[in-house]
Amino acid sequence: MNNQSIWTILFIATQTFTFITPIDGLSSPDNRSPKDLSSHILAGLQARTSSSSSNVLNLETDFYDSSTGLYSEGVWHNALLGISSLENSQAADQIADSLFKYSWDGCSFRRRAWSGNWDHSSIDSNNPPEQANYYRESSEHRCVQHGLALVFWSKLLLDCDDAGQDIRTTRDRYAEQQQTIAECFIREFWDPSVQKWTTVSRSQGGGSVLRPSASAAKQTLGVSEAAPYYRAVDQAIAVLASLEHLKSIRAKRRK
């Protein structure tokens, strides 16, 4: 199982434990609530980090970098963990600040940007990590990543609203970032000619069936023509991102 699959499973677990009603199979001996269990999962991820004095982190076995607040590198899973943190009443500012610092390029979020204490020397070694290409830096803009980041920033903005006037400066910063992220999302990924959201940003070509796999860096077998590439997952994430953005707009109007 690769790191990407692990992040998907862990996010589903944190969300499930947050919202389900406790049943015998999930009730703990000390009668912790589902929200408590979700918080313990997040704490477990943070505990999966290097204990060495050098603080160099392994791409495969370490899950958290305290210097950046990021869980591994990449955008979509950190946005999901940021959302999970907010829903568990935990701070997510460091995740947002690091994502914007390392991954945002003024147009969209780069698919993967190196940051913090992660050791990338193993990628081209004789013993590389599984699907080593997944860990390489990439400037590619992808709809699912930008969309989930917009969901995260929209929820972060609403969380700041609930906190009141004490964090006005922080809220103003996130409001400006969220507006920029939303405007760029529509401009870069919505294709009005076909009424669909593209997989890759339009400024990078929109994506076609010739696009290499992010993990294997190989094209799809049997494909030779650069036909447009539209995916159901991009449409679904874009709808979710748009709805969360509308919530932030309505909250602003109410104020």
pTM beyond 0.95, yes or no: no
The predicted pLDDT at position 23 comes to: 39
Long-range contacts of the stretch 157-164 (C-beta < 8 A, 24+)? 157/248, 157/251, 158/247, 158/248, 158/251, 159/86, 159/92, 161/251, 161/255
Rounded CA separation 142/151 (Å): 14
Q: Which residues contact 244 (CB under 8 A, 6 or more apart)?
A: 150, 151, 154, 155
- Whether pLDDT at 243 is above 80: yes
The predicted pLDDT at position 22 comes to: 40
**Nearest residue to 191 via CA among 146, 145, 238, 151:** 238
- DSSP state, residue 141: E
Q: Each residue of 111-166: pLDDT tens digit?
A: 999 998 999 999 999 989 888 888 999 999 999 999 999 999 999 999 987 765 56
Q: How far is CA 136 from CA 22, 32, 59, 182, in A?
A: 41, 40, 11, 27
- Whether pLDDT at 24 is above 50: no
Q: Each residue of 66-80: pLDDT tens digit?
A: 999 999 999 999 999
Q: What is the 3-state secondary structure (H, E, C) of 194-237?
A: CCEECCECHHHCCCECCCCCCCCCCCCCCCCCCCECCCHHHHHH
Q: Each residue of 163-197: pLDDT tens digit?
A: 655 677 788 999 999 999 999 999 999 999 999 99
Are the CB atoms for 8 and 79 separated by under 8 Å?
A: no
